[in-house]
Amino acid sequence: MNRNLKLIWNGLIPENPIFRLALSMCPAVAVTTSVENGLMLGLAVVFVQVFSSCTVSIFKSFIHPRIRIPAYVIVIALWVTVIDMILPVISPDVYKKVELFVKLIVVFAIIISRLELFASKEPLVPSFFDGMGMGFGFLFGLCLIGAIREFFGTGQLLGYDILGFNPLLIMVLPAGGFFVIGFIMATFNWFEYKITGKIPTSGGAH
């Protein structure tokens, strides 16, 4: 497989930010009460991750290694603010929906960890695809959690009534987020154990 495609695949499943790396768990629990919320936050993360990865990858030789973390934070904050300013001009309707999510992204662990682990060492093109992979992996994770929580918590999917009643209200409350993420993570680990025969090691949650 082409390396770039591999990077995207890597972010989606083998190194999924939520289920395998266990990074950015706070937003993953907090906003995934419905598929739509997950989708909106996921899209915003894709943009910020790709832009930040590319910026850091281009300018990595100018950033002094001892101040790389503050410099990365500035880069992320810069892109978040730029999106926050441009989006209401381009498309006010979309902005109304993602407004709440865009501002949250500055402090996401997944973005700064990809800048530190990948973009600061690799050239532009792989960094771009790594950013895409991680962004879409995050989006996929949020949508999956959102779908499960929305379906069991409110009996709906994407806002459409399916069951017509609430089977398990706890799923839309914060506690439900922990349950769902725990179950999906366990499923991922179980599959990996079945395929490779090794007990998976875990990442560090943030």
Partner 1 sequence: MKEIFKITVSLTAVCVVASLILGFVYAKTEHARKLNEEKTEQQTIQGLLGYGAGEKIPSDLKVYPVYRYVITSDKGKTLLGYVLPIKDNKVVLAEMDLSGNPLKIIPITVEPSALSDKAKRDNAVNAVLPKGSKSLYAQTVFVADMGGKRLGYVVPGVTQGFKSFIKLMVSLNPDFTVTGVAVTSAEEDPGLGAEIQKSFFRNQFVGKTIELLKKLKVVKEPLPPNYAAALDPAKAKAKGLTPEQVKEIKEKHLKDNIYALTGATISSRAMTNGVVSTVKKFVYRLDKLNEAIKKEQLSVAF
Map 113-180 to HEC letters: HHHHHHHCCCCHHHHHHHHHHHHHHHHHHHHHHHHHHHHHHHCEECCEECCCCCCCHHHHCHHHHHHH
Q: From 85, 105, 89, select the one nearest 40 (Cα to Cα).
A: 105
CB 11 within 8 A of CB 130: yes
Residues 6 or more apart in contact with residue 169 via CB below 8 angstroms: 153
Query: Between 7 and 56, whose beta carbon lies closer to partner 1?
Result: 56
Shortest Cβ distance from residue 7 to partner 1 (Å)?
27
Tokens of 13: 């499943």
Query: Between 81 and 202, whose beta carbon lies closer to partner 1?
Result: 81
Q: Which residues bind partner 1 (CB under 8 A)?
A: 30-34, 37, 62-64, 66-67, 70-71, 74-75, 77-78, 81-82, 85-86, 88-89, 92, 100-101, 103, 161, 169, 172-174
Shortest Cβ distance from residue 158 to partner 1 (Å)?
14
Query: Between 16 and 33, whose beta carbon lies closer to partner 1?
Result: 33
Shortest Cβ distance from residue 89 to partner 1 (Å)?
4
Shortest Cβ distance from residue 114 to partner 1 (Å)?
19
Instruction: State in Å, rounded, how far the first CA of the chain is from the last one.
Output: 32
Shortest Cβ distance from residue 1 to partner 1 (Å)?
36
